Amino acid sequence: MTLPNILTCIRVLLIPVFMVLAYQEGDGFQTAALAVYVIACLTDYVDGKLARKNNQVTNFGKFMDPVADKLLVMAALLIFVEDGTIPAWAVAIILGREFIVSALRMVAASSGLVIAANIWGKAKTMITMITLIFLLCPIGPIYLGPVSLQDVMVWITVIITAISGATYIVDNFAVIKDGFTQKGA
């Protein structure tokens, strides 16, 4: 197994550790949860860089890396929905985009096409991770007038996520357009 794939597996193994720590009371546990989450995010950055640099891109990595990313983000989002930090509608938009883009990629792959990450997808990943890191910091809300900075960051994340999903659909509409055309008419 390559080092990038090992890092991806470590990221998956860190998810339950992160969740156990995040559910504990006390700033020490919250700080530890934040540290584990940041380490997991860093493995995402490092594994991709190493795989491309060392020509170690594998099918396992292509499959498992995005799965690990989605599981990590989903775990944090679910914790924040449960404690009321993020509204469920925002998480529904974020997870809905993930399902839609993943399904689009699967359909494309069945035709031998690859849908690579675009700038909006990369921006979505970055802003989501930054927002979740900020929300994991054991600090109270920082108010900017009537709204908190945390709420603004969640809104930005949702907006970038929606734009990202829309660009993937528009840019790759040819993959699914047959469902919109009438055959045999």
Q: What does the pLDDT average to over 49-56?
A: 93
Neighbours of 2 (CB within 10 A): 17
**Which structure tokens are listed for 11?**
């990221």
Contact assessment for residue 135 and residue 156, using Cβ atoms and an 8 Å cutoff: no
Give the whole-angstrom CA distance, residue 90 versus residue 83.
14
**How do residues 149-171 score in pLDDT, each as one tens digit?**
999 999 999 999 999 999 999 99
Give the whole-angstrom CA distance, residue 7 versus residue 40.
9
Residues in the chain: 185
Q: What percent of the chain has pLDDT over 70?
A: 98
**How do residues 72-91 score in pLDDT, each as one tens digit?**
999 999 999 999 999 999 99
- Record the pTM: 0.86
Give the whole-angstrom CA distance, residue 79 versus residue 114.
33
Neighbours of 59 (CB within 10 A): 7
pLDDT at 32 over 60: yes
DSSP β-bridge partners for residue 143: 148
pLDDT at 183 over 80: no
Q: What does the pLDDT average to over 3-19?
A: 96
